[in-house]
Amino acid sequence: MKLRLALLALAFVVSFAGQDASLLGAEPSASYLLPGNPLDGSRLFSEKGCLGCHSVYGVGGVAGPELGQGILKRPLLDIAGVMWNHSPGMVHLFQEMRTALPQFKPAEMASLLSFLYYLGSLDPPGDAAAGARLFREKQCQTCHSLGGKGGKHGPKLDSYGRYATPLYLTAGLWNHGKAMAGVMEAIRVPRPAFGKNDIADLLAYIRTTAGSVERVYVRPGNPQVGEKLFVQKRCAQCHRPNAQGTRIGPDLRTKLKGSLIGIAGAMWNHGPKMWAKMDNVPSLAPEEMSDLISYLYFLQFIDPTGNVARGRVVYQEKRCGGCHTLPGVSGTVGPDLASAEKLQTPVEVVTEMWNHVGTMERKMLEESVEWPVFKGGEMADLISYLLSVRKSSAAPADGKKSEPKEK
Ligand code: HEC
Ligand code: HEC
Ligand code: HEC
Ligand code: HEC
């Protein structure tokens, strides 16, 4: 039951309060929380069959490229662009396998894209061998024991092996960090700093001593809850409530890059300076740590708005108007994009483009139109243009257009 395992491994997102998918691309270049629900997205990724052909860090099918290695590290609509660019290849494989291309509802597409976006920065699973080295080099074993072997200045760490996610270890490190730093100073062990995936590697090692060799990915928590905790736990006293900087603490929106484990490491590394400024260090339960880190992680979600003028050029260059009607440019092969009903938001446009990809590809072959390939930013630009034309053509001045109603 390989797929079953894969399913489990991918079901790592705990819970995200769903947000309105129509937010997608609606805000100006702000950073805010992810618009879809990555948990639903991870479920759809297997239900719609993607996992049958694609793997994430080696878990999953092999007919399509691996999607876990940061290739999706780009804005959401660019991810949609990448999917589109590769869709003829996928369509042909589906045909060979005699299965229908999966269709999406807009909310599903938003969640799928959110999940793919999350994959773009997903930390690789911890590596137990690297963790064993770190445990020695960082002198954890001078003070801690595992399986009865090691020092006695600190508690045994075996119980951490029960936990699947490094965020438990992160919480333990944070909550005991100040006391640990004291003992380190007393017996002259330098305080270790954590880089890259160190905490995940350490946990992977601890887990092997507890008899578990199963590889586990980091599960992000709930960023909406994390946003509240950030204020409740008084982080916002030195960083602003929206994680902007103050005179005391740095701007976390720009400082924290890339990865959940990296953020956990940054918190640890800067611990002493923070603790020095805190009357008492707020203790964080593992779930809280997980939610906080997820919040800080998804602060990086940037959804650049498209540019209408550039979008018009993209529309012409990609020859969409050869088949589709818009005011001023009228093709006849494809539907009228100004009046088609389900194209009210960026995510709806992306969804319908995907849902119709099979027919479009056939028509393009018939009409000898080369498959349009989107470069970075072009999908967002094109969509901005489409939506702006729809808006203006819905205005009463234009008599021939169908009613501007949304349902
Ligand atoms: C039948 C096998 C198959 C299925 C199912 C499938 N894909 Fe693909 N996918 C491929 C192949 C093959 C490619 C490479 C196509 C090409 O480059 O021409 C690809 C490419 C991609 C790419 C571009 C990757 C890159 O290298 O940049 C993305 C993103 C993607 N698929 C996402 C998905 C999603 C999301 C689903 C589920 C809705 C899915 N795929 C379902 C076979 C599949
Ligand atoms: C100089 C000794 C020392 C070193 C080196 C040290 N620790 Fe600790 N550690 C302690 C002490 C003492 C405590 C208990 C602190 C307290 O009382 O809150 C502790 C607590 C912990 C806890 C919380 C344990 C619990 O009961 O929940 C974890 C997790 C931990 N250390 C991990 C590590 C890791 C991983 C390393 C190596 C990177 C490390 N420690 C290095 C002394 C040390
Ligand atoms: C009393 C003030 C204060 C409080 C409260 C505080 N911080 Fe900080 N924080 C700082 C300072 C100062 C730094 C920079 C420390 C340094 O340069 O080593 C920092 C750095 C950080 C960093 C590392 C940023 C980087 O540059 O890599 C993270 C992450 C962080 N804080 C998260 C938090 C979280 C989460 C909370 C709440 C649990 C919190 N902070 C509470 C003052 C504070
Ligand atoms: C060779 C002709 C052709 C070209 C070029 C073409 N399309 Fe299409 N398009 C079609 C056809 C035909 C359909 C209807 C497919 C169906 O019914 O399944 C369609 C459907 C669509 C839909 C769904 C409309 C609805 O009713 O929901 C969207 C959105 C779309 N195309 C966007 C584009 C964009 C953007 C471009 C340029 C990148 C483009 N198309 C290029 C032929 C084309």
In a domain, 407, yes or no: no
Q: 317 and 278: one domain? A: no
Q: Does 127 lie in the same domain as 115?
A: no
CA separation for the pair 200, 206 (Å, rounded)? 10
pTM tops 0.75, yes or no: no
List, for residues 290-340, the tens digit of each pLDDT value: 889 888 887 766 667 889 999 999 999 998 988 888 765 666 778 888 888
CA distance 339 to 332: 14
* DSSP letter, residue 31: B
336 bridge partner residues: 325
CA of residue 146 to ligand 3 center, whole Å? 31
Sign of CA dihedral 231, 234, 238, 239: negative
Tens of pLDDT, residue by residue, the chain (407 residues):
344 333 333 333 322 223 332 333 333 323 345 566 666 787 889 899 998 899 887 778 899 998 987 777 888 899 999 999 999 999 999 889 888 899 999 989 988 988 888 787 777 778 999 999 999 999 999 999 999 999 999 999 998 888 777 878 999 999 999 999 999 999 999 999 998 889 999 999 998 887 766 655 555 567 778 889 999 998 988 898 888 888 888 888 777 766 788 888 999 999 998 888 888 889 999 889 988 988 888 776 666 788 999 999 999 999 898 888 876 566 677 888 888 888 988 889 999 999 999 999 999 999 888 999 999 999 999 999 999 988 887 655 444 444 444 33
Best mutation site among 251, 269, 270, 290 for ligand 3 pocket (most ligand atoms within 8 Å of CB): 270
What pLDDT is stored for residue 400 in this prediction? 42
**Nearest atom within ligand 1 for CA of residue 49:** 5
Instruction: Please tell me if the CB atom of residue 183 comes closer than 6 angstroms to any atom of ligand 2.
Output: yes
Q: Is 357 in the pocket of ligand 4 (CB under 6 A)?
A: no
Identity at 86, one-letter amino acid code: H
Boundary of a domain, candidates 247, 271, 299: 299
394 lines ligand 3 (CB under 6 A): no
Q: Ligand 4: does its nearest atom lie under 6 Å from the Cβ of 356?
A: yes
Could you tell me if 287 and 148 lie in one domain? yes
Domain, as residue range, for 73: 1-121+306-395
Q: Please report the atom of ligand 1 found closest to the CA of residue 65.
A: 26
> 145 with 114, same domain?
no
- Nearest bound ligand to CA 41? 1
Distance from residue 7's CA to the centre of ligand 1 (Å):
18
Q: Does 208 reside within a domain?
A: yes
How many domains would you assign to the chain?
2
Same domain, 351 and 274: no
Regarding whether 372 and 280 lie in a shared domain, the answer is no
Tell me, yes or no, whether 141 and 287 share the same domain. yes
Cα of 201 vs its chain's centroid, Å: 21
* pLDDT in the model for residue 342: 86
From ligand 3's centre to the CA of 273, what distance in Å? 8
Cα 371–Cα 375–Cα 377 angle in degrees, nearest 5: 130
Q: Same domain for 199 and 316?
A: no
The answer as to whether 5 is a domain residue is yes
> Last residue of some domain: 262, 277, 299?
299
Residue with the smallest CA separation from ligand 4 atom 29 is: 353
Which of 268, 299, 330 represents a domain boundary (last residue)? 299
Backbone torsions φ then ψ of 35, nearest 5 degrees = -75, -30
Q: What pLDDT shows up at residue 398?
A: 42
Q: Are 261 and 137 members of one domain?
A: yes
Q: 148 and 276: one domain?
A: yes
Residues 30 and 112 placed together within one structural domain of the fold = yes
Whether 233 lines ligand 3, by a CB cut-off of 6 Å, is yes
